[in-house]
Structure 1
Amino acid sequence: MKKYCLTVDLINDAKLIAEYEAHHKTIWPEIEKSIRDAGIESMEIYRVENRLFMIMEVSETFSFEKKQAADLANPRVQEWETLMWNYQQALPFANPGEKWVLMKKIFQL
């Protein structure tokens, strides 16, 4: 099993952050299905202030490219992503259109 960590910022507004968290208390069933179908076996999101940190544990068949292609072909996932973009903001160093940025592991004990 592989593990990936990603990060993105939320718009720094307490009301919007509360709404974002509320959306994640019960995600849409189609979103959970798309995550699981991609080979993501576990996903956790943590927040400090307006910075989010995601940990994903994935199967050997998972690839970011396949997940992106499946997401682009899924109208419900696109609806969710559009909704989430109302709360998220790209990191200053992100590529154009990039939300979640893959983090580099620098230490393990």
Structure 2
Amino acid sequence: MPAPRTPRRVASVIRLRPEHAERYRELHRAVPGPVLDALSRAHVTNYSIFLRDHTLFAYFEYTGDDYEADMAAIAADPETQQWWTLTDPCQQPLDSAQPGERWVTGAELFPLY
């Protein structure tokens, strides 16, 4: 029996526009089921978003075999695209983001398993 694979741990950050902070909180009190389903189909688990000083920090674990394909499937999902039309105006990418990049991924410096 093969040993269980350690999930890929993904952390990313983006700024929260202060004038949209309450709207963003409100949206995340009731994330649409189809958006959650798209994440599950793409092997995203243990997903959390944290807030501190107008910075959003997201963490999730990826348990699939093809990260790029699964992330592309999320991006292609019509319900998720609609969700992003609501959440994107609340966010401001960091100065270090590349053109067109929103959430920027952080490098894992210390894992404790």
Scaled by the length of structure 1, the TM-score of the pair is 0.87
Structure 1: any 5+ residue segments left out of the alignment? none
Farther-moved stretch of structure 1 (33-42 vs 68-77): 68-77
**1:45 counterpart SS class:** strand
Scaled by the length of structure 2, the TM-score of the pair is 0.84
Pairs aligned (count): 106
Structure 1 residues 106 and 67: alpha-carbon distance in aligned structure 2, compared to 1, 3 A threshold? same
Question: Counterparts of 1:72 and 1:57 in 2: how far apart (Å)?
Answer: 17
CA RMSD, aligned part only? 1.5
Structure 2: any 5+ residue segments left out of the alignment? 1-6
Q: Which structure has the bigger radius of gyration?
A: 2
Question: Counterparts of 2:75 and 2:58 in 1: how far apart (Å)?
Answer: 21
| 1:28-86 deviation line (CA, Å, top 9, x unaligned) | 011100111100121011000210111101204250x2233213432211111121111
Corresponding position of 2:70:
67
Contact 2:42 2:64 in 1 (8 A): no
Corresponding position of 2:36:
32
Corresponding position of 1:20:
24
